[in-house]
């Protein structure tokens, strides 16, 4: 019997900068048109998309800024007819009403369409597209300060529940 796979999608790569630099308002899962060598590179995890975004042009959605390293012997990507360009635009597979909705939100509210994650779902590569509002530098600092405060609070709660709070037990003089 073959080993069972864990349920849910297997994440290929995540855009960690997206959660720091943007407020994510909504996410949509989309398919992506890839070549065979791109799929092989993704299986090896050879992808970067820190500045990836989505453009809507002529009723079609396009992913820009996804760098998939050419696949080849030793991961070097030997030139050949089967190889691909590392930074080409790739078509996203969405329903027409989803594209219209994303275009309307991005245009009317001046929001960005960014790519937050690539993952496998039932043997196919899927892209998580997020409608996001950019954060200013001050906003990012506030979010980091709040996150640190929450983390400190959780640590203090865990210490007090485990009895290792270090706060004046029996036999301490308090000096």
Q: CATH no. for residue 14?
A: 2.40.280.10
Contacts of 41 (CB under 8 A, 6+ apart): 47, 68, 69, 70, 71
**CB atoms inside a 10 Å sphere around CB 100:** 13
Closest to 42 in 3D by CA, of 128, 116, 124, 115: 124
Domains: count for the chain: 1
Residue 147 lies in a domain: no
**pLDDT truncated to tens, each residue of the chain (175 aa)?**
666 666 667 999 999 888 888 889 999 999 999 988 889 888 988 898 888 899 999 999 999 999 988 877 655 545 555 677 777 889 999 999 999 999 999 988 889 999 999 999 998 999 999 999 988 777 778 878 888 898 999 999 898 888 765 555 555 555 4
DSSP 87-131: T--EEEE--HHHHHHHHHHHHHTT-EEEEEEEEEETTEEEEEEEE
Domain of residue 115 covers: 10-135
Give Cβ neighbours of residue 169 (< 8 Å, ≥ 6 apart): none
Whole-angstrom distance, CA of residue 153 vs CA of residue 151? 5
Examine residue 113 and state whether it is found in any structural domain, yes or no: yes
Answer yes or no: is 162 within a domain: no
Domain assignment present for residue 166? The answer is: no
């Amino acid at each position: 019997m073959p080993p069972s796979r864990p349920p849910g999608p297997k994440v290929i790569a995540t855009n960690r900068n997206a959660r720091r630099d943007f407020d994510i308002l909504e996410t949509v899962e989309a398919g992506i048109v890839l070549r065979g060598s791109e799929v092989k590179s993704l299986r090896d995890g050879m992808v970067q998309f820190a500045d990836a975004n989505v453009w809507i042009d002529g009723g079609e959605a396009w992913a820009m800024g996804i760098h998939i390293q050419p696949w080849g012997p030793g991961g070097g990507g030997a030139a050949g007819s089967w190889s691909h360009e590392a930074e080409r635009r790739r078509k996203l597979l969405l329903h027409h009403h989803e594209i219209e909705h994303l275009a309307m939100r991005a245009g009317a509210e001046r929001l960005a369409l960014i790519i937050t994650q690539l993952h496998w779902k039932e043997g196919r590569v899927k892209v998580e597209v997020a409608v996001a509002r950019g954060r200013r530098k001050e906003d990012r600092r506030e979010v980091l300060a709040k996150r640190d405060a929450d983390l400190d609070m959780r640590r203090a709660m865990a210490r007090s529940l485990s009895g290792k709070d270090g706060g004046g037990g029996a036999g301490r003089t308090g000096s």
